[in-house]
Structure 1
């Protein structure tokens, strides 16, 4: 197999389950690979905010002159997006030898798609002479494949209700799973403003060096600028992060605390912080596409992130009509998501998605109708995200707003050919 697509198809066939938490199988293969990093490693777990935190860590470290390696998942359009070396998305051809390494080291062990691909990307990163490795943890923590790496600093962003079939029925249970990425004697940054007690208890139990938002670091700000303060260090007069949304200050604060905790090994200047946060980019996180009508892309796919999206949309100001393109997995708490964002939406465009776990457009419509809604709100169903977006564009006036949100597959579906340029029809008319 000499193409990435062949290896990805191979990974999909290997294991009967999409998700099987546990470290024994993946650790045994990692040991045969001799997987090890010769640089500081930061792992980032949490319900929401992981990708943004990773992107901010990367941007600041790059501005400080470090060679970075970043692993995030899932991807929006192309698998290669899951790994960046020194700020650049890796080439599929560069990943292929590492898939072959994992296959040789597997020795018959059954790995899930996520486990196999994680090992291949970690193998590439370990061979890439990076100065800092930033690893986003998947849906879990304690039993997630990424947790085979003993991180020098663990970051836990928000903890909220998602993936409850795997992680437990409440925030305390989920927090306990996320806290599994902490290590004895090493920094554990918790940027959730009100973390579950289970996270704090686990840090105390194992003797981690706990950094808590509101205790060990904090932020403040006005409409023009913001400031961050941590243990013995302060940054004042910072421009707001280039990633939009009020919740991004919480993510930025956690990222700065993580870098501060590794200061002796990985010093960064105030200028690197300023430039990095001003230049950070991450598609699909309250991404506003210029043009008319306004177009917002956001991978909000659980109640917590949809609440943040709703607040950010509210802060945008008045639009006569808000059109929402939405597709999501069937196991999500869709009813709560509809309840939170529903008051802002005037027309829904439900879409099918190309994955078995997804709720059908018809199913989304039925679950939305069962909630009850304002009489003047309408809805339609569509075969794919791009078809739904085209329908929204056809119905929208230039002064309206279109929000594409939900699964990564929803946002990725409208980014397949690059940033949508459908607003041009209004500019030409």
Structure 2
């Protein structure tokens, strides 16, 4: 196997399940790999806001001069997007020796079966542990307690907003899901809970194991007006901060958790106020309420559960008036689709449902049928398309320059649109 694609194909064939919750198998291989980090490790769990939190942590720490490593999942277009070293996406060739290391460790002293996610996570952790990092930032894939990332003992944990998602694995209510997320906490170490209304199970677990709980609204908080915002934590305040470069009202909650984490670790990795200002002003993250310049307006958002779609709806509302809103939508079949469609429905005048290149996805026809079952507006049209690019092209062809197009529902949906680069919507027919 001499390419990243061949290794990824190998990983897909190893285990009978895509997701197999539990740390026993992955811990055996991790111990054989002897993974080690010299600087502090921050793990980030939650339903929504994980990627934004990781990106803001990275941006502030880079501005402070630290050598950072970040692991996030899933990717939008290319697998190597999952790992950044010192702010740069790793090259595919840099990953190859670490896939080989994991394979050697996996078959050493008795073969261990790993899922695609477990194998690839260990390969990236192997690369990060060999990269002389001063800070490692690890996004938890699913849940927390039994996620492969949780084989690493974090020096600080962050738990972002918690809502209903992946319920077949994590439980049917916020309390049960919160208990799974709380599994990333460690005794005596800080855990930042940035969800303004966290499940009681999260707070209880912190107390049970003796974690150093930093709770939004008690240990840290923010204030703001239309021009600027401020943050206050344990013994430190920041005022006159510019809004984070990531758009959306929910980003101040995420940024508040970031500042709490940096404050909790300040004796090991001090960060100046100027580094925080610069980091928040410069942070970038594709697919999180990303507005692409041009006409019509194009919004890309990976929102793929009701809670995230509610935030997307609020952010779209705040954009102002557009004569027609076109929505490109593709989603996984196991998502709670009805409330997602119902929440955004009042804003959308034309739907473009699309297939996605994964067996987990609902077909465009299934999405349209689900939409029709909940549809109350008679003036709204819908069509089905073979992929996100085709759906976007149909939306562009139908849109006027003053309209708005929203692409959402899955990483696969946004990634499908970004696969050939960020689209420019100044097509000739629109300006004629």
User: Shorter-chain TM-score: what band?
Assistant: over 0.9
Instruction: Select the residue among 412, 415, 423 that pairs with 2:415.
Output: 412
The answer to whether residue 267 in structure 2 is matched with residue 272 in structure 1 is no
Instruction: Select the residue among 283, 289, 294 that pairs with 1:291.
Output: 294
> Contact conserved, 1:398 with 1:426, CA < 8 A, in 2?
no
Structure 1 equivalent of residue 86 of structure 2 = 86
Structure 1 equivalent of residue 31 of structure 2 = 31
Deviation at 1:177, TM superposition (A): 0.1
The answer to whether residue 51 in structure 2 is matched with residue 51 in structure 1 is yes
> Contact conserved, 2:69 with 2:86, CA < 8 A, in 1?
yes
Q: Root-mean-square deviation (CA), in Å? A: 0.6
2 CA distance for matches of 1:257 and 1:208?
A: 15
Instruction: Select the residue among 134, 147, 151 that pairs with 1:148.
Output: 151
Deviation at 1:144, TM superposition (A): 0.2
The answer to whether residue 358 in structure 2 is matched with residue 355 in structure 1 is yes
Structure 2 equivalent of residue 41 of structure 1 = 41
Between the two proteins, the alignment pairs up a number of residues equal to 429
Deviation at 1:373, TM superposition (A): 2.4
TM-score (norm 2): 0.99
> Contact conserved, 1:353 with 1:410, CA < 8 A, in 2?
yes
1 CA distance for matches of 2:68 and 2:101?
A: 22
User: Counterpart of 1:188 in 2: which secondary structure?
Assistant: strand
> Contact conserved, 1:292 with 1:426, CA < 8 A, in 2?
no
> Contact conserved, 2:296 with 2:425, CA < 8 A, in 1?
no
Structure 1 equivalent of residue 20 of structure 2 = 20
Give deviations 1:191-246, integer Å, cap 9, x for gaps.
Answer: 00000000000000000000001000000000000001110111100000000000
Give the alignment of 1:104-253 within 5 angstroms.
104-107=104-107, 108-253=111-256
Give deviations 1:274-313, integer Å, cap 9, x for gaps.
Answer: 0000000000000000110000000000000000000000
Structure 1 equivalent of residue 310 of structure 2 = 307
Which has the higher mean CA deviation after the structures are superposed, 413-422 or 213-222? 413-422
- What runs of 5+ residues in structure 2 fail to find an aligned partner? none
TM-score (norm 1): 0.99
1 CA distance for matches of 2:365 and 2:376?
A: 17
Instruction: Select the residue among 417, 420, 424 that pairs with 1:421.
Output: 424
Deviation at 1:36, TM superposition (A): 1.5
